């Protein structure tokens, strides 16, 4: 089987502390054999979100955590994109839940096609 291309999981974070444990658990449970990068941009959270991301991802490889002054959702998303280093990006809001095989399924769907986007 052909190796799958890498994915940068992009998570803009703004005051989402109650939701972060669930979304981080779902990201970490993504199935498939592909390179991963995890990018979190904290948009000046005031609820401890930044500290929680740091704590819950302390042992994750290839993780980037960036804190910025409040620039809003679009500003945090754009910062995530700038920090991404894999061929594909997967946007994950800090309160999303995703199925365990979601990323692998999308990668397999796009593999060998002319598509540049899968959702």
According to the model, what pLDDT value does residue 119 have?
83
Q: Token digits for 56?
A: 């819950």
According to the model, what pLDDT value does residue 116 have?
82
Q: Token digits for 22?
A: 């669930």
Distance CA 115, CA 97 (A): 25
pLDDT digits (tens, 9 = 90+) for 11-56: 999 999 999 999 999 999 999 999 999 999 999 999 999 999 999 9
Distance CA 33, CA 54 (A): 25
Alpha-helix residue ranges (DSSP H) falling in the chain? 20-28, 49-56, 72-83, 102-110
**Whether pLDDT at 2 is above 60:** no
pLDDT digits (tens, 9 = 90+) for 54-101: 999 999 999 999 999 999 999 999 999 999 999 999 999 988 889 999
What SS3 class is residue 95? coil
């Amino acid at each position: 089987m052909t190796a799958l291309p890498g994915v940068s999981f992009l998570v803009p974070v703004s005051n989402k502390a109650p939701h972060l444990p669930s979304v981080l658990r779902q990201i970490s449970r993504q199935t498939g054999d592909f390179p991963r990068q995890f990018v979190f941009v904290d948009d000046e959270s005031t609820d401890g979100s930044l500290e929680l991301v740091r704590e819950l991802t302390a042992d994750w490889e290839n993780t980037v955590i960036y804190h910025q002054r409040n620039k809003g959702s679009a500003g945090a998303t754009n910062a995530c994109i700038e920090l991404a280093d894999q061929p594909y990006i997967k946007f994950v809001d800090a309160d999303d839940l995703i199925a365990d095989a979601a990323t692998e399924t999308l990668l397999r769907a796009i593999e060998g096609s002319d598509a540049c986007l899968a959702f």
